[in-house]
Structure 1
Amino acid sequence: MNNKIYQKTLEMIPPLSLLLLWELFVLIAVLDARFFPAPHVILISLWEQITLGYYWHDVSSSLIRITLGFVIGSVVGVAIGISIGISSLCRALFEPIVAATFPIPKLALMPLIILLFGLDELGKVIVIAIGVLFPVIIQTTAGISNVDQTYKEVAYNYGASRWNYFKTVALPAAAPSIFIGLKLGSGMAILLIVAAEMQGASAGIGYRIWSAYSLFDIPTMFVALSTIALLGYLSYTVIEKLEHRVISWHRSPQKERDASGKNKD
């Protein structure tokens, strides 16, 4: 417990130091307060938005879109990635399409998605799902394809069926790579929500950023940007906690070194 408290304390030092420096630089006029309002001014703006009620409305609107897009993109991405990894037929069918469409900037698809689905919620969810889809497919495919051949030979030598091999060997071995894809996908979802909400939205963090920019309300814009950063951190943390629960047997090399060091002490 003490080690966790110590680690959390260390994690708080860099952001708090940055905020203190920011406050100081605005105070001594190194930073222009018109474009970089002091942190206490941003906090005041945050409190005003909370008391007026639209802050949580923006956050909840964005979270619904992010969650739906992330779940759809993740489920489809894992399914396609597994199919490519275990089936040569699926690899021949899907891999060229993934390779060809992955480099296309997802924001460049916004006009097409608007034409097909309009400016309603479905279009915003779809653009997020597409952004999540590719990193999940790529990481899942890599995880399934890179399973040590020795494991496969041992499983089949002991009479494992194709399904048993996949369930007991391939999927657990690929799980760390799949979770990396989910982490990358969550970051992509939060990145795309800003662009998705700048078109045809009446609420959301992206809408608030654009609205604040249009009105030159810089503190409100920084509140929205800070919220995006916080959502990114929280989503990464939640997926990491889930990863530790689902694949508790997996430990990174750094954690192994830390554990061995503690045992020696």
Structure 2
Amino acid sequence: MTRLLHFLRERWALVVGPVVLLAVWEVLSRNGVIPPTFFPPPTRIAAGASIIVELDGGLGSDILMTIFRLVVTVVLAVMIGVGLGIAITASEWAERGVSTVLAFVYPIPGVLFFPFLTFILGRTEAAVLLTALVTPLIVMVLYTVAGVHSISRTLIEVADNYDCRGARRFFRLLLPGALPSIVTGIRISLGFGLIAVIAIEMIGASAGLGNFLWENWQILRVTDMYVALLCIAVLGLLTTVGFDAIADRIVPWRADARSTS
């Protein structure tokens, strides 16, 4: 109970803004200032949230599918991005070449790659996952490269003097040295990954929160649409908060830096 009270004292400011916004929305919708047909009162949306646990036509399976796609996307982005990012720093020419390609591709919304992937893979789950992977993968490569470049030159020279090469160099120098930047990259990739997954579900998937939201928008089931939107927002919040808690254990000086700032 003491911990709960301490948490509320520390975090109460975080809920003031959303609560005020929802209260204003409720009042304006109830009084017809904004059309309740398209902006139903938050209390009505909350009452419709039971659809999350409904067996027929509920949101449960769509939530699980979106979470699955997000996890697969981010795991692949981290595994491939970290390995590729560290590998290309071994050669100046390789780094320049890959960085040029990434700079060319990065501004393109990842969802636009879906039509090209369907030419090869069809409208399959593999095409959905690969499309969602594009932007998080680029983010992970860029942050990994930046992390490697942040390693002290003295440490690199010491490793060279002790002939630290191959896997030993990777696991004992490059990966730990780039870890703070990699952790930041993962956090950003989670956000981009969720955006990409929802976007691709809206146009190319038969299940998921994005697909549910899009289908209900088309038939103007507005309350269900807002429930799906709320689920997406909560998923994004829980993903960020959960990762921060894990990252503070992996890189404990992150928490120390926040507490002293």
User: Fold conserved (TM > 0.5)?
Assistant: yes
Tell me the equivalent position of 1:261: none
For the structure 1 residues 91 and 245, does the alpha-carbon distance in structure 2 shift closer, same or farther, using more than 3 Å as the test?
A: same
Q: Does 1:197 align with 2:201?
A: yes
Q: Does 1:76 align with 2:74?
A: no
**What is the rounded CA distance, in whole Å, between the counterparts of 2:68 and 2:225 in structure 1?**
21
Of 238-247 and 45-54, deviating more is 45-54
Give the counterpart of 2:260 among 215, 231, 256: 256
Give the counterpart of 1:44 among 47, 54, 57: 47
Give the counterpart of 1:35 among 34, 38, 53: 38
Task: Tell me if the contact between 1:84 and 1:95 (Cα under 8 Å) persists in the aligned partners.
Answer: no
For the structure 1 residues 152 and 250, does the alpha-carbon distance in structure 2 shift closer, same or farther, using more than 3 Å as the test?
A: farther
Task: Tell me if the contact between 1:132 and 1:186 (Cα under 8 Å) persists in the aligned partners.
Answer: yes
Q: Does 1:122 align with 2:126?
A: yes
Q: How high is the TM-score relative to the length of structure 2?
A: 0.88
Give the counterpart of 1:60 among 56, 64, 69: 64
Tell me the equivalent position of 1:144: 148
Q: Alpha-carbon deviations, 1:143-165, whole Å to 9, x = none?
A: 111223233345556x3624555
Q: CA deviation at 1:47?
A: 1.0
Tell me the equivalent position of 1:26: 29
Of 171-180 and 135-144, deviating more is 171-180
**What is the rounded CA distance, in whole Å, between the counterparts of 1:251 and 1:215 in structure 2?**
46
**What is the rounded CA distance, in whole Å, between the counterparts of 2:129 and 2:189 in structure 1?**
14
Q: CA deviation at 1:198?
A: 2.3
For the structure 1 residues 167 and 61, does the alpha-carbon distance in structure 2 shift closer, same or farther, using more than 3 Å as the test?
A: closer
Across the two proteins, how many residue pairs are aligned to each other?
256
Q: Alpha-carbon deviations, 1:192-216, whole Å to 9, x = none?
A: 1222112343321111111111101
Q: Alpha-carbon deviations, 1:216-261, whole Å to 9, x = none?
A: 111111111111111111111222122111111345644224xxxx
Of 143-152 and 235-244, deviating more is 143-152
**What is the rounded CA distance, in whole Å, between the counterparts of 2:244 and 2:87 in structure 1?**
25
Query: Identity over the aligned pairs, expressed in percent?
Result: 27
Q: Alpha-carbon deviations, 1:26-53, whole Å to 9, x = none?
A: 1222222111111111112221352344
Q: Does 1:14 align with 2:11?
A: no
RMSD of the TM alignment (CA)? 2.2
